[in-house]
Structure 1
Amino acid sequence: MNFGREAMMTSDIECDVRSLGDSGKQRAIFAHFDSLSVGQSLVLVNNRPIEHLRDAFDAEYAGSYSWQELEPRPRSWRVRIGKTASDALPRVVGHTSSGDLDRRSAVWSLPIQRRHDLDVTIVTLAPGTSTTPRPGPAVDTLVHVLAGTGTVTTELRDLDLDPGTLLWLPRHTPRSYTAGPDGLRYLRVRPHQQSPVPDSDGPW
């Protein structure tokens, strides 16, 4: 078996991150990978395996990359990462029936990654419970009621919610959800906010 440079193919691009700090390694690797054409590969060089890197590739580029360890030895870690498709492939990420209606929780959310531009969350509220009234985020929100019943209290009126309801909440809309006797489950979708300020809408 050949290791290191002898194992590199003519289409490989070397990405040596040994001189970078931990916070900069992943950014550099993703930047190199993004620059590849389909069929090209990069050979990643580091002085040790990078923890959770493959998990990050699964989240960012699911189904569209290959992974081959060329040199797994300590202090000299080389991995060939190939681009097999132009972008991440579609995949099933969850099911709207998940989560019990007898407790309040954000039962599922789309993992936030650097290239994703949607925040998607499935929320359940136990029967008769309410969320804390608060102003909405600085983006529009779409809510699809999946199960149960309830109301959403806005600035001037209450709106009834039942399965199939599509609710549009303009940005900054004050809102509070109250579940009916059977609980409430809804899917919430909105643009991802690139902001260090905590989300004023909370997980609900």
Structure 2
Amino acid sequence: MAVEDSGSSGTAAHSPLPRVLCDTAALVSQGGDAPAGALWKLAETGRQLDANVVRLPAGGRVDTHTEPDLDVLLLVLDGAARLDCADGEHPLRTGVLTWLPHGSTRAVLAGPDGVTYLTVHRRRPGMRIQTPQAADRLRRSLGEDGA
């Protein structure tokens, strides 16, 4: 399906259309031959979400971190992993869908055959250049008067 998505919600003739983006089964079929890291990223213009298919090799790890702003869904597509968080260790296997709420601290450790998973979260807003007056307003709202 070759469709240009303007990301706008204009008339029906110009409205974005659903489309197939990725065959995750084909990505997973690479197994241990797949490179480590992001195998696929959602890159469509006008999107409100970010999504990635990530491969961690056997024993690979996403170090302990806290996501302060975004809830994340993590779906294991192939393999197994362990989720480490404040309440202990949780096994993740193919088909397990996990919610990682914002503010939670977590780490992911791939199992003996590695793991491939999909993550989905709200898109982070891009950085914007603002006027010096906007920075002054932000400092005042945070109680930093600059004096």
TM-score, length of structure 2 as denominator length: 0.71
The letter for the 2-side match of 1:163 is T
Alpha-carbon distance between aligned partners in 2 of 1:158 and 1:182, rounded to the nearest angstrom: 18
The CA RMSD measured in Å over matched residues stands at 2.3
Report what 2:103 is aligned to: 172
Between stretches 96-105 and 170-179, larger displacement belongs to 96-105
Question: Are 1:135 and 2:66 an aligned pair?
Answer: yes
Q: Show CA shifts across 1:83-116 (max 9, x none).
A: 7724111111101121544342110011052x21
- How is 1:70-149 mapped onto 2 (pairs within 5 angstroms)? 85-97=13-25, 98=27, 100-102=30-32, 103-113=35-45, 115-149=46-80
Separation in structure 2 between the aligned mates of residue 119 and residue 86 of structure 1, nearest angstrom: 23
Between 1 and 2, higher relative CO (CA 8 Å, sep ≥ 6) is seen in 2
Partner SS for 1:147 = strand
Q: Distance in 1 between matches of 2:101 and 2:19?
A: 30
CA distance in 1, matches of 2:103, 2:126: 15
2 CA distance for matches of 1:195 and 1:155?
A: 30
The structure that is strand-richer by fraction is: 2
CA contact (8 A) 2:5 2:17 kept: no
Q: Aligned to 1:131, what secondary structure does the other structure show?
A: strand
Offset from partner CA, 1:108-143 (integer Å, 9 cap, x none): 011052x21111111111011112222124111111
* Deviation sequence 1:11-48 (CA, Å, 0-9, x none): xxxxxxxxxxxxxxxxxxxxxxxxxxxxxxxxxxxxxx
5 Å matches for 1:14-29?
A: none
Please name the residue that 1:34 is paired with: none
Q: What are the superposed Cα offsets for residues 53-86 of structure 1, whole Å, 9 maximum, x if unpaired?
A: xxxx83536xxxxxxxxxxxxxxxxxxxxx7724
Give, as a single letter, the amino acid of the residue that structure 1 aligns with 2:6: E
Alpha-carbon distance in structure 1 between the residues aligned to 2:12 and 2:96: 40
Measure how far apart 1:179 and its partner are.
0.8
Structure ID, larger Rg: 1
- The letter of the residue matching 1:125 is L
Structure 1: state its 5+ residue gaps.
1-56, 62-82, 198-204
2:81 partner amino acid: G
**Aligned-residue offset at 1:166:** 0.8
Separation of aligned partners in 2, 1:59 and 1:193: 19
Gaps of 5+ in 2: 129-147
For the 8 Å contact 1:101–1:126, the answer to whether it is kept is no
Q: Does 1:60 align with 2:43?
A: no
Aligned-pair identity in percent equals 29
